[in-house]
Amino acid sequence: MLNGYQSKLHFILLFLFISITINAQDTFVIDSDMQFNSSNDWDVYWTNNGNIPQSGDIFFLDKGAELSIDFDLSQKGNFLFYGSKFNSKTASINFLEDGKGSIGFRTDSYNQIEVKVKGDVTIYDGVTNQDLTFTVEGDGQIYSTGQIYSSNQFVTIYQKDNGVFEINGDLISTSGLNITMEDNSKLEVLGNLDNRNSASTIKQSGLSELTITGTYSSTGYSGGDLIELKGSSYIFIGSDITVNNNMEIKVGEENDTNANAEAYFEGNIITTESCTIRSYEGSSIDLKGNYTTVKGFSNGDVIDIQGYMSLGKKVQITGTSTAIIKVGDNGRLDVGETFKAYESWHIKLVICGVLYIKGDLELGPGIEIDMCGSDVDCKYVDHVSDPDFDHNNLDGGKILVEGNLLFECSYSDKIYNCGYIGVMGGCGCGNADAPNDVCNGVDDGVPDLPVELIYFKGQNTDTGHLLLWSTASELNASHFDVEASNNRRDWQKIGRVEAAGNSNTQLKYEFLDEGKSGTYYRLAQYDFDGKVEYFGIVSFVADQFGFSCHVYPTVSTNGDELKVVIQEANTEYPVVGVFYDQQGRVISHEIIIENTELNNIGVYKVPEVSTSGVYLLRVSNGINTHTEKIVVN
């Protein structure tokens, strides 16, 4: 029988033995190209060369060697890899069409390593200080169970064909990041993209899709960040874009009107140097948050819109010597709140298309506005005094401001070439009441809208794209034309819904596009005088990541209240409920939550139905949907 001291000593020795056994890792060196086509090939080779690698063992891919796998290596275990030990050659792990594996990377000061995938690979340990290159092609797939993090080197991702790369965590590089995507490839970062100490480059083409559910941040100190989309590529960034560097975002192609690339940013864009944003004809940029440049000492800020861009909230450009805002002939730039470039010297607006600002337009000294019309000095033309003036058929561009046009008076202020500037508020130097010659050519109001719209929404149903809208009031309203587009530029009328004419009560409308004619929809509302106003756009492009909905109880009677719990909602849109019967007919539609927050609880009242049975409640928030079966007794 062991005494107390012997018992403790025995326990310590046993613990050390177990620890050594668990942590023991064998090391294998591959210094020339090798290919294994089967599990038997693997076993025979390693048996003849000492012993078979076990799960957790380490491989050195030395002298730029390439290890090719064309069987399910994951059946042999999980393995860790170093790059070349004594030279700068890039080592490779190549998973062929039938290749599978579960791999990780060792953290140490070794050199480049490339992972080539046509098969199916899981990365269980993606933290290293090696240069990492991932090439995904064919029908290859990479799934990382956690973050990809190069603590001291460069990360390169190249995808083409149908390659898929999913990172279940952050993508972090401390020496630069380069992402190239082609064809139908898809990259999902279910976390943040964080690039440090150097510039990052993202280039997409074809039908490639890049999703970053968190933030995009870059603190590079050389060069500049670039996000470039061509073809029909798509990028989604779910939170803020913060860049301590020059930045350029290019969406679409200058000489290709068939390109319809799309960029969708849920958060804010914040840069501390100059920023250039370009949307070419046929392509679009949708920013839901604020656009802010807080220094801009380089070459100034440029927003050049030949296609479409929506800035959901405020625009603030400060500290730059020159800012240039261009809207092309077929372009449109919408600003959801105030556009402010008040602390900048020399602001140039070149508006050949439409600039629509829902708040104030505040400009610094030395403003220059080119309206792109005929070369006639139009700044003293008083459109207000001409009752027959029709701004819809005007030569030149349009600036429509729902708030005030404010600027700092300067001898160099000027507006030239014909166009239309409509301001619902005041116009003047620093305050709405100050007179100035620049304001002589400004119309003191945007035409009153004959219809006050409460919401315009879409739902993707089995029978087609269902469009729903509601008006609070109507004045002299004739009808709604429903228009569809696949690029936000070319619109086609697909239907007509009659309006009520005059109404002071809430009215509801619906239209089903059975052919799913487009990915974007808008309403053209006509009054009896032929004037038209556009509402929309409703998109059927992509879902909000993280959105979830729960409805209870699911057994009810007429008039019962159902609780609707929403998490990770899109706060830009209301939550709407549509009640269907089993044949897909709309029974009722209501706003469940009008002022949406990230997490919500709302109530939907079951409508009166004449027949007991199973009905469907479809809950929508933006383009997110959830359908619940409701039994009505």
pLDDT in tens, 21-30: 334 578 898 8
- One-letter-per-residue 3-state SS of 18-74: HHHHHHCCCEEEECCCEEECCHHHHHHHHHHCCCCCCCCCEEEECCCCEEEECCEHH
pLDDT value at position 459?
77
Measured over the CA atoms of residue 6, residue 12, residue 17 and residue 18, the dihedral's sign is positive
> Residue 51 corresponds to which tokens in the numbers above?
């012993």
For the segment 570-589, the average pLDDT, to the nearest whole number, is 81
Pick the CATH number of 452-539 from 3.40.50.720, 1.10.3720.10, 1.20.1440.230, 2.60.40.10: 2.60.40.10
Whole-number percent of the chain with pLDDT over 90? 23
pLDDT in tens, 358-403: 888 888 776 788 888 766 545 433 333 333 444 444 567 888 888 8
Of residues 129 and 15, more confidence is placed in 129
> Residue 97 corresponds to which tokens in the numbers above?
């069409």
> Residue 288 corresponds to which tokens in the numbers above?
């839901």
Lowest mean pLDDT among 190-199, 454-463, 502-511: 454-463
Query: Quick one: pLDDT band at residue 100, thresholds 50, 70, 90?
Result: very high
pLDDT value at position 612?
86
Least Cα distance to 189 among 224, 208, 215 occurs for: 215
pLDDT value at position 215?
92
pLDDT value at position 42?
95
- The owner of tokens 């107390």 is 4
The answer, yes or no, to whether residue 406 has pLDDT greater than 90, is no
pLDDT value at position 423?
80
Domains 452-539 and 548-632 share a fold: yes
pLDDT in tens, 133-153: 999 999 999 999 888 888 777
pLDDT value at position 476?
85
pLDDT in tens, 557-574: 888 889 888 877 877 778
Output DSSP code: residue 470.
E
Query: Quick one: pLDDT band at residue 470, thresholds 50, 70, 90?
Result: confident
pLDDT value at position 442?
62
The answer, yes or no, to whether residue 95 has pLDDT greater than 60, is yes
How far, CA to CA in Å, does 406 sit from each of 58, 222, 293, 435?
A: 66, 37, 20, 11
pLDDT value at position 489?
65
Query: Quick one: pLDDT band at residue 441, thresholds 50, 70, 90?
Result: low
Highest mean pLDDT among 200-214, 467-481, 594-608: 200-214
Lowest mean pLDDT among 123-132, 466-475, 542-551: 542-551
Least Cα distance to 362 among 326, 414, 406 occurs for: 406
Measured over the CA atoms of residue 553, residue 555, residue 557 and residue 558, the dihedral's sign is positive
pLDDT value at position 412?
59
Task: Give domain limits for the chain.
Answer: 56-289, 298-381+393-447, 452-539, 548-632
pLDDT in tens, 240-251: 998 887 889 999
For the segment 177-198, the average pLDDT, to the nearest whole number, is 90
> Do the beta carbons of residue 27 and residue 57 sit within 8 Å?
yes
Query: CA angle at residue 249 from 246 to 250, to 5 degrees?
Result: 135
The answer, yes or no, to whether residue 199 has pLDDT greater than 60, is yes
Of residues 361 and 181, more confidence is placed in 181
Query: Quick one: pLDDT band at residue 221, thresholds 50, 70, 90?
Result: low
pLDDT value at position 438?
56
pLDDT value at position 589?
85
Measured over the CA atoms of residue 121, residue 122, residue 124 and residue 126, the dihedral's sign is positive
For the segment 190-212, the average pLDDT, to the nearest whole number, is 89
The answer, yes or no, to whether residue 130 has pLDDT greater than 80, is no
pLDDT in tens, 336-356: 889 987 665 577 889 988 888
pLDDT in tens, 313-338: 888 887 656 778 899 888 889 898 89
pLDDT in tens, 36-86: 999 999 999 999 988 899 998 988 888 888 999 999 999 999 998 887 665
Beta bridge partners of 620: 576, 625
The answer, yes or no, to whether residue 1 has pLDDT greater than 60, is no
Query: Quick one: pLDDT band at residue 19, thresholds 50, 70, 90?
Result: very low
Mean pLDDT of the residues in the chain: 80
CATH for the stretch 548-632: 2.60.40.1930
Contacts of 188 (CB under 8 A, 6+ apart): 165, 166, 167, 211, 213
For the segment 288-304, the average pLDDT, to the nearest whole number, is 74
Whole-structure pTM value = 0.66
